[in-house]
């Protein structure tokens, strides 16, 4: 069994005399890395975990697509994500000399995490603007240590996905979300409250797949609004959206990250093309910042909304 410590924090350092303790600490670290790599509100960008002296670069593409339904108020949806993160020590952070461990995160290497998930859920919605969504997603991830190099880039990282020294992990993600979305004088305000529960299996076996023990959860409350048409051109138009989200962490992840809350503020520009392009409803450019007492960062993302 491949066991190594991810030295993201000093407070969770333990000796390897007890394999069960080592495995629990390893799983807690893996679970935290997987959540931050795939979590909404931490999109493609650069982040600093200021309390534990760690930097993380994230490349993340989440998606959720509502399927057509013959029922008036109920439909199924498909959700998922693909993600990649690089984690390394912050050069400006002072820390004590770590204990000896089989593999350590140091200034000459970095931790790489790859995620890919797919799930299904069901949504109830009505004419008053209320939506209730619930679903389950399975996220496969691989994690391992890689020595830093001068030509380190995303292309090299993708090749490393097939490295035999990487550990395999499987995560169950449960989602429960309450939303309110309603048009008001051309604006589209909304409020969201959701709860996500994560359970991670490391070097999983068939027996372990049916064993559940809660490791971490993320609760989110947010609100925002999208503007009316700001500019029209040949059946296409521009709108802007602003939003603010608060996230509350619970479980093992708070010990790993050094904080239990963080906030996301963002602005999105949409170029809507409902009549001009048959495969895309609109394209967007998004910029946001993330802050807490132990986390700071930013992200910039571009993408599109599919329309089939």
| Helix (H) or strand (E) run with residue 34 in it | helix 19-38
Which pLDDT belongs to residue 9?
30
27 DSSP 8-state letter: H
SS3 category, 25? helix
**Section 247-268 average pLDDT:** 86
Greatest mean pLDDT among 20-24, 46-50, 155-159:
46-50
What pLDDT band is residue 252 in, cutting at 50, 70 and 90? confident
pLDDT averaged over the chain?
A: 77
Q: How many residues does the chain have?
A: 308
pLDDT digits (tens, 9 = 90+) for 259-268: 889 889 999 9
Which pLDDT belongs to residue 76?
96
What pLDDT band is residue 239 in, cutting at 50, 70 and 90? very high
Query: Is the CB of residue 25 less than 8 Å from the CB of residue 14?
Result: yes
pLDDT digits (tens, 9 = 90+) for 150-200: 455 555 555 555 555 677 888 889 999 999 999 999 999 999 999 999 887
Other Cβ atoms within 10 Å of 75 Cβ, number = 16
Does 18 score more than 60 pLDDT?
no
> How is the chain split among helix, strand and coil, in percent rounded to 5?
10, 55, 35
Q: Which residue has the higher pLDDT, 206 or 65?
A: 65
Does 287 score more than 50 pLDDT?
yes
Residue 133 is encoded by which pair of tokens?
Answer: 């969504």
Does 292 score more than 80 pLDDT?
yes
Which pLDDT belongs to residue 166?
74
List the end-to-end C-alpha distance of the chain, in Å, as a whole number. 45
Does 228 score more than 60 pLDDT?
yes
Phi, psi angle pair for 32, to nearest 5°: -65, -45
Q: To the nearest whole percent, how much of the chain has pLDDT over 90?
A: 28
**Could you tell me the pTM of the whole model?**
0.78
Which pLDDT belongs to residue 145?
78
Which pLDDT belongs to residue 210?
54
Residue 260 CA, distance from chain mean position: 15
C-alpha to C-alpha distance for 196 and 174, rounded to whole angstroms: 5
**Section 52-68 average pLDDT:** 83
Instruction: Give long-range contacts, CB 8 A cutoff, 24+ apart: 97-102.
Output: 98/7, 98/10, 98/13, 99/13, 99/15, 101/4, 101/5, 101/7, 101/13, 101/16, 102/3, 102/4, 102/5, 102/16
Which pLDDT belongs to residue 178?
97
pLDDT digits (tens, 9 = 90+) for 68-120: 888 899 999 999 888 888 888 877 765 554 444 334 566 667 888 888 999 99
């Amino acid at each position: 069994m491949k066991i190594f410590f991810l030295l993201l924090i000093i407070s969770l350092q333990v000796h390897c005399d007890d394999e069960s303790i080592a495995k629990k600490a390893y799983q807690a670290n893996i679970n935290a890395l997987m959540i931050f790599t795939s979590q909404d509100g931490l999109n493609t960008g650069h982040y600093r975990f200021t309390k534990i002296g760690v930097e993380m670069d994230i490349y993340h593409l989440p998606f959720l697509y509502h399927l057509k339904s013959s029922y008036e108020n109920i439909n199924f949806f498909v959700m998922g994500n693909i993600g990649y993160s690089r984690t390394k020590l912050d050069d400006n952070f002072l820390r004590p000399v770590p204990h000896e461990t089989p593999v350590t995160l140091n200034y000459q290497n970095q931790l790489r995490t790859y995620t890919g998930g797919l799930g299904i859920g069901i949504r109830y919605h009505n004419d008053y603007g209320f939506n209730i969504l619930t679903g389950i997603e399975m996220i496969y991830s691989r994690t391992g240590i890689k020595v830093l190099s001068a030509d380190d880039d995303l292309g090299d990282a993708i090749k490393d996905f097939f490295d035999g020294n990487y550990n395999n992990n499987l995560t169950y993600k449960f989602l429960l979300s309450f939303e309110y979305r309603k048009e008001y004088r051309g604006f589209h305000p909304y409020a969201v409250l959701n709860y996500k529960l994560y359970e991670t299996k490391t070097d999983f076996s068939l027996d372990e797949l049916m064993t559940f023990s809660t490791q971490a959860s993320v609760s989110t409350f947010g609100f925002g609004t999208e503007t009316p048409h700001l500019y029209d051109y040949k059946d296409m138009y521009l709108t802007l959206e602003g939003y603010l989200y608060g996230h509350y962490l619970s479980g093992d992840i708070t010990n790993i990250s050094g904080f239990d809350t963080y906030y996301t503020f963002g602005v999105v520009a949409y170029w809507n093309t409902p009549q001009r392009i048959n495969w895309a409803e609109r394209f967007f450019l998004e910029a946001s910042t993330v802050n807490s007492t132990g986390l700071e960062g930013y992200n910039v993302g571009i993408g599109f909304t599919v329309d089939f």
